[in-house]
Amino acid sequence: MSLSLQQPASQPRQQAIPASYGFHPIPTSVIHTVAHEFGHVLGMYHEHQRDDRDHYVRYQCEKLEGYDQAKKDVEAKGQHTIEEVCASVSLGYEYNFPSAPQFSTQRYFDDLGGIYVTKGGEYDWHSIMHYTSDAFHNDRLSRDPPNVPLFRWVNGDPDFQPPPVDHTPTADEAKLIGWNEQETTDDLYSHIQTLYPW
């Protein structure tokens, strides 16, 4: 189930949703992208940004578009590490590396006051709010689990302990997440009803 941003009704805020067309220029992806962005409008957050996501998927920042330049900029400035930039929403934008914040598990919305993030239910890599494996992918790399920003663990579950970061996953351990695997489920409808109980 997707994460949600919630705020008291006494503190209304405007919702700004940036739309990215950097995915796949095919009709199916357009439908998924629009549904995904409407999910944000309804208050949903990215599934792959849950704090327990490492039990289900692996995020590989070095496979993102813009990583090489961001690493050079970070090293030139000498104030942060690339690992800090890959994990931080604010540092990702500070170093002009806007794809990294899309994968951060950092709860930066908490600082806005009155907004809190909830996660409900089991991790759902089928969620329309979950990025595909090649979202923001560095096009110079092949599209297989060792070379994409995000892939799912075949045996992922709450008790799964992922291998060390330097472990190269095999086809038996890791699978790509594609558009055709994302769907709108009854869980999504019940989650929206939780946010909007009318």
The pTM assigned to this predicted structure is 0.76
Q: Is 24 annotated as a binding residue?
A: no
Write down the catalytic residue from 37, 62, 94, 181: 37
Q: Is 46 annotated as a binding residue?
A: yes
Dihedral sign, Cα of residue 181, residue 53, residue 136, residue 154: negative
Phi-psi region of 66 (alpha: psi -120 to 50; beta: other; left: phi over 0): left
Enumerate the β-bridge partners of residue 174: 153
The residue segments making up the domain with residue 43 are 3-195
Distance CA 115, CA 6 (A): 5
DSSP state of 18: -
The domain tally of the chain equals 1
Q: What is the 3-state secondary structure (H, E, C) of 103-138?
A: HCCCCHHHHHCCCEEEECCCCCCCECCCCCCCCCEC
At 70-117, the pLDDT tens digits run 999 999 999 999 999 999 989 999 999 999 999 998 876 555 555 555
At 146-197, the pLDDT tens digits run 899 999 999 999 999 999 999 999 989 999 998 755 555 556 666 666 666 7
Q: Is 191 annotated as a binding residue?
A: no
Is 37 one of the annotated active-site residues of the chain? yes
